[in-house]
Structure 1
Amino acid sequence: MAFTDNSPIVLNTQIAPVPSGARPATGAARIPSPTFYPAGSEIYAQGERCQGVYRVEFGAVRVYRLLADGRRQISGFHLAGEMFGFEADDTHHFFAEAICATGVTITRTARTAEMSCHLLPMALEGLVRAQEHLLVLGRQNAVERIAAFLTDMAERQGGLKQIELPMTRSDIGDYLGLTIETVSRVFSKLKQSGVIRLPGLRTVEIVKWQSLHDMAA
């Protein structure tokens, strides 16, 4: 199927499964069929009113903010099965964009006590991830940042030795506070040292898991 623009398209597919451990809550509407977003298309913009909580059914999403000087700071990547878009108030404070062809479902929520309890684990997980990211940016050098990033991506993909990176080197740089040249140089260094292999442009094979983990620590 060919797409001529970046308009989201609703797919007629089955209802998305509820995440493991979650239970239906008052105020949560029935999860609809995924909406398809072509690569590079906007899911929501900074300043828009929140419509609910989003879940990636397939593909990947980047969440970012544009700085005053025009630079982009990516605050997170969300992969299939992960949720995003939770805000403390009724307004989105970041942009969300499809990295590749992506399907997203949205659960429209009412602000009830039961729904708040339902979303609390998601909010706490986001807080922990944000704290870990601040540590990476504040205390680690370029090699350590890339190692921590690859370790995190591997763990989020089930601990596989071969992982897929839907994002570009530029995306990784904007997430880790590095230039694209530095990101490429570190990947080459890890490859030359035998810690990783690069079978494809977006594929990384972790050869020496312990070495990579030690670099990230």
Structure 2
Amino acid sequence: MTLAYATDTHHATPAIADVMSRLGLRMTFAKDEEIFCQDEDADLIYIVVSGAVRTTRLLSDGRRQVGSFYYPGDLVGLETGDTHRFSAEALSESTLLVIKRSALKAFAGDEEIDRAIWEATRRELERAQEHLLVLGRKTACEKVASFLMDLAEREGADEVALPMGRQDMADYLGLTIETVSRMLTQLQGASVVEFEGCRRFRVKRWDALERLAE
């Protein structure tokens, strides 16, 4: 099997993707099913084959923070430490390839694993910086527009699938679900985007969406 490499900051290096394609165990997870949990030993590494995955962390006050979203071709669960900092759940029915970290290390080599960890750390830092900018400096409308813009640029198309629900978006953007719903309605009312049901939208005015996302 050949994995398609997503043009995303999380995607696996070719050497690691090749080993996992040949040796990884294919597993299917139902919508909202847990893949691994927060503080669990990070002895398994995953690549998304189909569907989508979210990572979440429960805060000390009981609130949930969504860390990131992962799509086909993305590497999930590669940690710099011994445990997972976040939990991971399937956003929809999803298929992943899974391999033990020790087996991946044996076949890909120490140098490739170290390079992958360094790349994963660098990319996650970049995403964290971008996420902080969105959370700290932008209005609610700009936050939602930035999120939709990121999805549209990822797919490179006017028609975009939205695998996550409104609550996932709210927990990722640091907003309430009511605010997210209101901003989506506002963007649609301004003919910036057009929703076709809850889980698909079309970008109608790229220039306006880009201005809001800046």
- TM class by shorter chain equals 0.7 to 0.9
Alpha-carbon separation, structure 1, partners of 2:131 and 2:46: 21
Matched residue SS, 2:80: coil
| CA drift at 1:16 | 4.8
| CA drift at 1:74 | 0.3
In the alignment of these two chains, the number of paired residues is 200
Provide, for residues 137-179 of structure 1, a one-character-per-residue CA deviation record: whole Å limited to 9, x for no partner: 011110010011001111222x111101111101100000000
Q: Does 2:91 align with 1:99?
A: yes
1:137 alignment partner in structure 2: 135
| CA drift at 1:33 | 4.0
1:123 alignment partner in structure 2: 121
> Where does 1:1-217 land on structure 2 (aligned, <5 Å)?
15-17=1-3, 19=5, 22-24=13-15, 30-110=22-102, 112-157=110-155, 159-217=156-214
Runs of 4+ in 1 over 6 A off after TM superposition: none
Instruction: List alignment gaps of at least 5 residues for structure 1.
Output: 1-14
Q: Which moved more, 1:30-39 or 1:69-78?
A: 30-39
> Cα–Cα, structure 1 residues 18 and 150, in superposed 2: closer, same or farther, change >3 Å?
closer
The one-letter code matched in structure 1 to 2:193 is I
Alpha-carbon separation, structure 2, partners of 1:78 and 1:24: 19
User: TM-score, with normalisation over the residues of structure 1?
Assistant: 0.85
The one-letter code matched in structure 1 to 2:13 is A
| CA drift at 1:54 | 1.6
> Cα–Cα, structure 1 residues 93 and 118, in superposed 2: closer, same or farther, change >3 Å?
closer
Q: Which of the two has greater helix per residue? A: 2
Identity of aligned residues (%): 38
Q: Contact between 2:3 and 2:73, CA under 8 Å: does it hold in 1?
A: no
| CA drift at 1:119 | 3.8
The one-letter code matched in structure 2 to 1:201 is C
Instruction: List alignment gaps of at least 5 residues for structure 2.
Output: 7-11
Cα RMSD after superposing both structures: 1.9
User: TM-score, with normalisation over the residues of structure 2?
Assistant: 0.86
